[in-house]
A and B are shown apart, each in its own frame.
Chain A
Amino acid sequence: MADTKELINALSTKHGVERRSLLPILQGIVEKENYLSKESMLEVAKVLDISAAEVYGTASFFSFLDTKERGQYVIRVCKSMTCDMKGKEEILSTIESVLKIKLGETTQDKKFSFLETNCLGLCEEGPAMLINDDYFVKLTPAKIREILDRYLRNEI
């Protein structure tokens, strides 16, 4: 918690303490802590002098501001129509079997979270996914295994 406080102080020094600073501050927390904990949202409310409900209300609106605990690597598989046509289902089942978690879950060691997302804008090269900020396209089950293997062996 002391770390979170320090982080929020640093972020508010960088981005300011106005209402418009809220999104960059929340994004900064997610970058470091993978998600927005209740404690971090309360602290942001205090620093910006707004209601905690405002902070939660804003955070929960956006799909990249998770308010549920997430792993170090968040996998987001595109579920748009084009990626669906190109074999998204097979990609999902491969990830499930490699990581042994279901869609929406996080591995026990808190390394991976596995989510779906709306259009990633990589349609011409689908199926596509993001792992944190990096994108992967033209996915096949074999390619997925290879990518996840690199992450599992910390070779990224």
Chain B
Amino acid sequence: MTQKPKKVDIIFSPYSVAPYQILKDTMKRSKEEVIAELISSGLRGRGGAGFPTGMKWKFAAEQKGSVKYVICNADEGEPGTFKDRKLLMSVPRKVISGMAICAWVTGSTQGFIYLRREYKYLVTELQKEIDIFTHHSKEVGLNFNLQIFLGAGAYVCGEETALIESMEGKRGEPRNKPPYPIQNGFLGKPTVVNNVETFASASMVCRIGAIEYKKFGTSDQRGSKLFSISGDSPKEGVFELELGMSVESFVSEFGDGDTKAVQVGGVAGFCVPRKDFAKAIIGDGNTTGGSTMIFNSSRSMYRVLHNYLDFYAEESCGQCTPCRIGCQQLLKGIEAVKKGEKPAEYLDQLLKLSESMRLTSKCGLGQSVTNSFSSIVTNFREEMIF
């Protein structure tokens, strides 16, 4: 009997305190204490890169200069991810509390919620919550102006430097790192960019404390994480689960009994075939936003990969050659093998190409293509050919 995934109820639990009470209570402590608490909680960024949140805030706090920005990355574009939408719809106050605490500890007075264009229907309700926040922030004497910045439709803008470029009115092309946004971000100023869920989790750490928070998860991945579950599952939706579960236990809870493969971490993540369910762990740095798509045995993995590559070829920003050309060639390549225009061995050439893309692409987009490409081509090779 496989162990069931452990459900947690921190992030989506209803507001248990008065509006912005968490912010008010947190501001009674010292800034150093709050940063130390976050670092000790082990909270890592929930957008994909997994950088320790407390460290990011500490570095930003140490930056000189009076102008700093706090940006909430709500450009949730990873296919199969929708947890940030749910968060902004149901508990926006927790997200804004996290942003406000971040502004307070880092010394920022201006914040933005970078909302993806596809979610424009969230603007009205979100603005109402911002107005409530503004009222309360004045009460506690926090000078933090918060605005919504609407994206314009580009997957790559989920990458923090591309996001900043687009906010500056330019093409959303990722920058070279370093310098990182905490040194040189929006308009050249120190900027903290965190995912929606990261801010919500940070405010929860401030409410329940690092010791309580650390009780969830594994030694490597602290706390709970939101998972967006879709595909061949009778229980699609967003679930808050403890990190560190096996794919097997995940499938036993969320699969339809005929699960053939699970795509962990969205298109940028890995495709886990049935034979690896027992050994693969969800949460070990592979969650990229918590997207999990479940495929049952009726699904063609060729069609799945074709869909992914079509997505990549369209969303590659085109700035660097490995990604721009590579995505197109992988797509053409699998089509040629399928049609019999190229021999099956051509897939090995394509695997090498995807590895080159991982090594030479400028940002995470091009570097991640090989994750799903190699895991699907290697595990479902016969489906690519016949």
Q: Name the interface residues of A37-74: CB closer than 8 Å to any CB of B.
A: 57-58, 61-65
Closest 5 CB pairs of A and B: A22-B169, A62-B152, A63-B153, A123-B230, A64-B153
Contact A80-B153, Cβ < 8 Å, known A61-B317, A126-B230: no
9 of the cross-chain contacts (CB-CB < 8 Å) are A24-B150, A61-B171, A81-B79, A81-B304, A82-B230, A119-B311, A121-B119, A122-B82, A122-B85
Q: Does A93 contact B (CB under 8 A)?
A: no
Number of B residues with CB within 8 Å of any CB on chain A = 51
CA of A117 to CA of B167 in the docked complex: distance in angstroms? 22
Pick from B80, B151, B154: contact of A80, CB under 8 Å: B80
CA of A68 to CA of B311 in the docked complex: distance in angstroms? 21
Chain A residues packing against B (C-beta within 8 Å) = 18-24, 26-27, 57-58, 61-65, 79-82, 84-85, 117-126, 130, 133-135
CA of A79 to CA of B304 in the docked complex: distance in angstroms? 12
Q: Report A-chain residues with C-beta under 8 Å of the C-beta of B155.
A: 118
Chain B residues packing against A (C-beta within 8 Å) = 76-82, 84-85, 116-121, 150-155, 166-172, 187, 228-232, 236-238, 263, 267, 293, 295, 299, 303-304, 307-308, 310-311, 314-315, 317
Q: Are B166 and A82 in contact (CB under 8 A)?
A: no
Q: Return the chain B residue nearest A122 by Cβ.
A: B82
Interface centre among A23, A58, A81, A130 (most CB of B within 10 A): A81
Pick from A62, A63, A133: contact of B120, CB under 8 Å: A133
Contact A81-B168, Cβ < 8 Å, known A20-B187, A27-B152: no
Q: Are A80 and B307 in contact (CB under 8 A)?
A: yes
Q: Are A124 and B153 in contact (CB under 8 A)?
A: no
Pick from A24, A64, A80, A85: contact of B232, CB under 8 Å: A85
Q: Report A-chain residues with C-beta under 8 Å of the C-beta of B152.
A: 23, 26-27, 62-65
CA of A120 to CA of B79 in the docked complex: distance in angstroms? 8
CA of A56 to CA of B367 in the docked complex: distance in angstroms? 28
Q: Report A-chain residues with C-beta under 8 Å of the C-beta of B121.
A: 133-135
Contact A82-B120, Cβ < 8 Å, known A21-B169, A57-B171, A61-B317: no
Q: Are B153 and A65 in contact (CB under 8 A)?
A: yes
CA of A139 to CA of B375 in the docked complex: distance in angstroms? 31
Pick from A27, A81, A133, A134: contact of B293, CB under 8 Å: A81
A-B contact count (CB 8 A): 118
Q: Report A-chain residues with C-beta under 8 Å of the C-beta of B236.
A: 123-125
Pick from B76, B85, B154, B307: contact of A61, CB under 8 Å: B154
Q: Report A-chain residues with C-beta under 8 Å of the C-beta of B170.
A: 19, 22, 58
CA of A135 to CA of B82 in the docked complex: distance in angstroms? 14
CA of A133 to CA of B263 in the docked complex: distance in angstroms? 29
Q: Report B-chain residues with C-beta under 8 Å of the C-beta of A84.
A: 303, 307
Q: Return the chain A residue nearest B299 by Cβ.
A: A85
Interface centre among B169, B171, B304 (most CB of A within 10 A): B169
Q: Are A62 and B78 in contact (CB under 8 A)?
A: no
CA of A27 to CA of B152 in the docked complex: distance in angstroms? 8
Q: Report A-chain residues with C-beta under 8 Å of the C-beta of B117.
A: 62, 64
Q: Are B80 and A81 in contact (CB under 8 A)?
A: yes
Q: Report B-chain residues with C-beta under 8 Å of the C-beta of A58.
A: 169-171
Q: Are B80 and A118 in contact (CB under 8 A)?
A: no
Q: Report B-chain residues with C-beta under 8 Å of the C-beta of A65.
A: 152-153
CA of A56 to CA of B15 in the docked complex: distance in angstroms? 45
Pick from B79, B82, B153: contact of A62, CB under 8 Å: B153
Given A81-B308, A130-B118, A133-B120, 8 more contacts at CB 8 Å? A18-B169, A23-B167, A27-B152, A61-B317, A118-B311, A118-B315, A121-B119, A124-B229
Q: Report A-chain residues with C-beta under 8 Å of the C-beta of B311.
A: 80, 118-119
Q: Report A-chain residues with C-beta under 8 Å of the C-beta of B229.
A: 124
For residue A30, give the distance in angstroms from its CB to the closest CB of chain B.
9
Q: Are A119 and B78 in contact (CB under 8 A)?
A: yes
For residue B188, give the distance in angstroms from its CB to the closest CB of chain A.
12
Q: Report B-chain residues with C-beta under 8 Å of the C-beta of A23.
A: 150, 152, 166-167, 169
Q: Report A-chain residues with C-beta under 8 Å of the C-beta of B153.
A: 62-65, 117
CA of A116 to CA of B228 in the docked complex: distance in angstroms? 22
For residue A46, give the distance in angstroms from its CB to the closest CB of chain B.
15
Q: Are A121 and B169 in contact (CB under 8 A)?
A: no
Q: Report B-chain residues with C-beta under 8 Å of the C-beta of A80.
A: 79-80, 307, 311
Q: Report B-chain residues with C-beta under 8 Å of the C-beta of A82.
A: 79-80, 230-231, 293
Q: Report B-chain residues with C-beta under 8 Å of the C-beta of A81.
A: 79-80, 231, 263, 267, 293, 304, 307-308
Q: Are A20 and B168 in contact (CB under 8 A)?
A: yes
For residue B307, give the distance in angstroms from its CB to the closest CB of chain A.
5
Q: Report A-chain residues with C-beta under 8 Å of the C-beta of B82.
A: 121-124
Q: Are B168 and A121 in contact (CB under 8 A)?
A: no
CA of A70 to CA of B151 in the docked complex: distance in angstroms? 19
Q: Return the chain A residue nearest B168 by Cβ.
A: A20
CA of A134 to CA of B120 in the docked complex: distance in angstroms? 8
Q: Are B293 and A121 in contact (CB under 8 A)?
A: no
Contact A121-B304, Cβ < 8 Å, known A62-B172, A126-B230: no
